[in-house]
Amino acid sequence: MRKKQFKTESKRILDLMINSIYTNKEIFLRELISNASDAMDKLYFVASAEGGKGFDRSDFEIRIEVDQENRSLSIIDNGIGMSQSELESNLGTIARSGTLDFRNDNKAELERERTITSDYPEDEAVDVDADNQQEIDIIGQFGVGFYSSFMVSKTITVISRAYGSETTCMWYSEGADGYTVTELENDQRNEHGTTVTLILRDDIGEEDYSTYLDEYTLKRIVKKYSDYIRYPIRMSVTRTRPIENEDADSDTPPEYESYTEIETLNSMVPLWRRNKNELSEEDYQQFYQDKFHDYEPSLTYTHFNAEGLVSFSGIMYIPGRAPYGYYSKEYEKGLQLYSNGVLIMDRCADLLPDCFSFVKGLVDSPDLSLNISREILQQSSQLQLIAKNLDRRIKNELMNLQENDREKYEEFFKNFGLQIKFGIYNSFGADSEKLQDLLLYHSLKEDKMVTLAEYQESMPEDQKEIYYAAGGSISRIRQLPQAELILDNGYDILALTEDIDEFAMKMIRQYKEKEIKSVSDSDLDLETDIEKEVSKEQAKLHEDLFTALKDALDDKVKEVRLSTRLKSHPVWITSDGPLSLEMEKVLSAMPMDGQPKAERVLEINGNHPVFQVLVNLAEADQDKLSMYAQLLYNQALLIEGLPIEDPVSFANDICELMI
C-alpha cells in the first residue's frame, strides 16, 4: 500500500506537534471530543435538512475506551463520519478544516437558524432567551486540532463510515512521514460514525503518557474542558462491591468483587445556556463556589445571553470579598472563555478591564476565531466587542446594586473601591465618566457614605462647588481649620482618607458641571464681593507685617498671607499649585528619587486676637515677632499632621514664653 505524504506546510506543523510545542498535552482529548461532537451536530443538521425522519439529540453519544494492554485509547462517535476522500482531504492536510467548509456550504441555512444576526450597532448585543439560541453549534474552526493527538501518540488510526454509505475506511499514520487510507473489507463498524484510536507513546523521563489510560485522569480532563459538550461522553469504569453471602456470619469481613459500569462523565448542559427562570439563587451560588473556588457565596451575579454582531452568553460574579492576594502583583485577572461549551482559556485577561479585575465568571461564544488548536486567541475584534459589552454590563450591575441594595454595595465598595479609584487615576481621568458614579465617600455632614450624585443633590442652592478634604482619618479631617468655615456655611465635605483619593479626585476635576475642590485650595469661591473687598483692604494695610513674617520664615514658605477662610483657628498651612500637602505626604512615602514638594503658604486669621498681637509686635519687637512666626508655622505643621523641622527649638521657644 502506497504511503502518502502530508502537504509541506502540514508536515511542518506536524513536526512541531510531534516534538510538542504544548506544555499541556492533555488538550488533545478536548480536540478529539470536540471533533466528535461536531460530527454529530453535522449529522443532526444534515438529516433534518433532508426532511427525512431525522435524529434526536439523544441518539448520539461519545464513547471513550481504554485498552491497558495495548496502550490504546479510543474516542468513538456515531456522527456523520467520513468517506475515503474526506479522510484524505480532512486529515491529510492541516489547516484545511472540513468544519469550515461545511459551514461555508451551508451558510444560508445556518444563518436562517439564527434568530437575530447583524442588524445591531457595533457593540450592541441584545439579550435573548436561551431557547431561541441557534441550534447548530459547530466547534472546530481551523484544522489542526486533530493533529494534537500526535503529542501523545505513536500511531493514530481513524476508522470511519460516512452517513448513508455502505463502506468503512481506515486512515492510519505513524507521524510525519505520511499516512495511508484504505477501504476495509471486513466492516468494523456497522453504523455511521468515527473511531479514533491512539496508541500512546512509551513513558520517558517526566513524560507520563500512561496517565491517559487512567480512569481518573480521563475523567478529570473531560470535566475540565468538555463538561458542557451537549452529547453524553461515556466511559466504562471499574467499581467494586461487596459480594452477597448469606451463609457468612457477621464476623467474617465481606469479600469484594469488581464490575464495570458505563458512566456519563460530563454534565452536558452549561448553566449559562439555561433559562434564568429555571435557575435558583442556590444554583448560581453553588456553581460559583465550585467553579471559582470560593468558600463564600458571591455578592451578586449577572447572567446574560446576547446576540448581535457577536453572540455570547455567560455569567459574571462579584465576589463577596477580595480574592486572596488581590491587591498584589501576582493576582491575575480574567474570565474563563468557552467556545460552544468547550473551555479554551482559563483566564482570559483581555475580557476584563483593570478597574473590574475582581470580577469572576465565564463567557461562551460560538463566534470566536481561534488560532492554532484554540490555545491562544488571536487579538480578535470579536473578543474586543465582547469585552466592551461586558465592561458596560459590569458597570450596570454595580449601579443596580447601588440603587437596590445599598448595604451590599457598601460592602462591595469596601472590598473593591480602591480598584475603582485606581482605575480613574491610571486612566488619567479617561475612565472618570464611566467610574465616577461608582464612588462612595464619607460625608461629614451626613456622617455616612454618599455618592457624588447624592452629594450634589443635597447641595444648598448657593453652593457653587463640591468640596472634599483629604487626611488620615475622618476625625482628623473634621478638625481641619479650613473645614470649619465650609461646614458652618451649611456645605458638606467629602472626607478622603485613602492615599489614592486625592489623586483620583484631581483626575475627575468636575462632576456634572460642578467643580470639585479641596477645602485647602487657595481659590475657593466662598466670600461675598464685600467680604473680598474688606480682606483686600486689610491685607494691603498690613503688607509690612506679612513681609516681615515671610522674612522670618525665609524659604520655609513661599508666602505668608491673610486668610479668608479661617474661623476660630489662628493659622493654617496650605499650598499653591497642583500638589497639595496631603499628596506630598503620600508621595514622600513612596520609594522614588527627587520627591516633589508642595509650595507652602502660611495663612493667618485676621480676626483672631493673635493677629492683633502680631500687628503690635511688628512695631515694638522684631525679634519676638520672628519667634512668633516660627511658633505659628510649627503649630500649623502640627495641625496639618506634618513633622516639624526642628522640634528642640520649638520646645525651647514655648518654654521661653512660659517664664
Lay out the site mask for ligand ADP across 247-286 (x = CB under 6 A, - = otherwise). Answer: ----------------------------------------
Q: Which stretch binds ligand ADP (CB under 6 A): 144-152, 353-361, 549-557, 612-620?
A: 144-152
Burial class of residue 237 (count of CB atoms within 10 Å of its CB; 0-12, 13-18, 19+): middle
Nearer to ligand ADP, 99 or 436 (CB): 99
Instruction: Quote the distance between the C-alpha of residue 123 and its chain's center.
Output: 19
Helix (H, G, I), strand (E, B) or coil at 528: coil
The least distance separating ligand ADP from the CB of residue 324, rounded to whole angstroms, comes to 37
Q: How far apart are CA 523 and CA 173, in angstroms?
A: 81
Separation of first and last alpha carbons in the chain: 116
Neighbours of 238 (CB within 10 A): 9
Question: Which listed range, 63-71, 72-80, 580-588, 639-647, lies at the site for ligand ADP (CB under 6 A)?
Answer: 72-80
* Residue 321 CA: distances (Å) to CA of 267, 302, 414, 633: 29, 17, 9, 45
Q: Which of 27, 29, 66, 82 binds ligand ADP (CB under 6 A)?
A: 82
Select 144 or 485, whichever has its Cβ closest to ligand ADP.
144
| Interstrand relation of 62-67 and 233-242 (parallel, antiparallel or unpaired) | parallel
Residue 61 within binding range of ligand ADP, rule CB under 6 A? no
Stretch that binds ligand ADP, among 76-84, 518-526, 563-571, 600-608 (CB under 6 A): 76-84
Contact 399/417 with Cβ under 8 angstroms? no
Q: Pick from 14, 27, 28, 143: which binds ligand ADP (CB under 6 A)? A: 143
At 448, list the grid cell.
455616612
From candidates 13, 27, 36, 632, binder to ligand ADP by CB under 6 A: 36
Smallest distance from the beta carbon of 175 to ligand ADP, in angstroms?
A: 15
Would you count residue 35 as binding ligand ADP (CB under 6 A)? yes
Task: For the CB of residue 15, give the shortest distance to ligand ADP in the complex, in Å.
Answer: 16
Q: Binding segment for ligand ADP among 80-88, 114-122, 460-468, 560-568 (CB under 6 A)?
A: 80-88
x/- track of binding to ligand ADP for residues 153-192 (CB under 6 A): ----------------------------------------
- How many binding residues for ligand ADP (CB under 6 A)? 22
Q: Based on CB atoms, which residue is closest to ligand ADP, 120 or 142?
A: 142
Q: Is 88 exposed, middle or buried (0-12, 13-18, 19+ CB in 10 A)?
A: middle
| CB of 256 closer than 8 Å to CB of 240 | yes
152 or 508: CB nearest ligand ADP? 152
Please, what is the minimum distance in Å from the beta carbon of residue 104 to ligand ADP? Answer: 12
Q: Which stretch binds ligand ADP (CB under 6 A): 48-56, 137-145, 200-208, 390-398?
A: 137-145
Q: Which one of the spans 73-81, 239-247, 600-608, 614-622 is the region binding ligand ADP (CB under 6 A)? A: 73-81
Q: Which is nearer to ligand ADP, 169 or 545 (CB)?
A: 169
Q: CA neighbours within 13 Å on the CB side: how many for 429?
A: 9
Residue 238 has, within 13 A of its CA and on its CB side, a CA count of 11
User: On the CB side of 426, how many CA atoms lie within 13 Å of its CA?
Assistant: 11
Q: Which of 62, 79, 485, 495 binds ligand ADP (CB under 6 A)?
A: 79
Q: Give me the 191-220 binding string for ligand ADP, x by CB under 6 A, dash otherwise.
A: ---x--------------------------
State the virtual CA torsion across 562, 565, 570, 571 in degrees, nearest 10. Answer: -70
Q: d(Cα 482, Cα 520) in Å, to the nearest integer? A: 7
Residue 308 binds ligand ADP, judged by CB under 6 A: no
Distance, CA of 381 to CA of 371 (rounded, Å): 14
Scanning residues 90 to 129, which ones bind ligand ADP (CB under 6 A)?
A: 90-91, 97-99
Told to check if 441 binds ligand ADP by CB under 6 A, we report no
146 touches ligand ADP by CB under 6 A = yes
Please report whether residue 229 would count as binding ligand ADP according to CB under 6 A. no
Where does residue 263 rank: exposed (0-12), middle (13-18), buried (19+ CB within 10 A)? middle
- Tell me if 391 contacts ligand ADP by CB under 6 A: no
Grid cell for residue 301? 451575579
Per rule CB under 6 A, is residue 418 in the interface with ligand ADP? no
Q: Which of residues 14, 63, 84, 145 is near ligand ADP by CB under 6 A?
A: 145
Which residue is associated with the grid cell 462491591?
Answer: 241
Q: Which of 39, 435, 604, 625 binds ligand ADP (CB under 6 A)?
A: 39
- 78 binds ligand ADP per the rule CB under 6 A: no
Output 97 or 134, the one with its CB closest to ligand ADP: 97
3 state SS of 157: strand
What is residue 354's DSSP assignment? G
CB of 209 closer than 8 Å to CB of 203: yes
Return d(Cα 34, Cα 196) in angstroms, integer: 13
CA distance 203 to 211: 9
- Residue 143's closest CA among 381, 377, 374? 374
Residue nearer to ligand ADP on the CB measure, 103 or 624: 103
DSSP state of 370: B
Q: Does 144 bind ligand ADP (CB under 6 A)?
A: yes
41 part of the interface to ligand ADP, by CB under 6 A = no
Residues that bind ligand ADP (CB under 6 A): 31, 35-36, 39, 77, 79-82, 90-91, 97-99, 140-146, 194
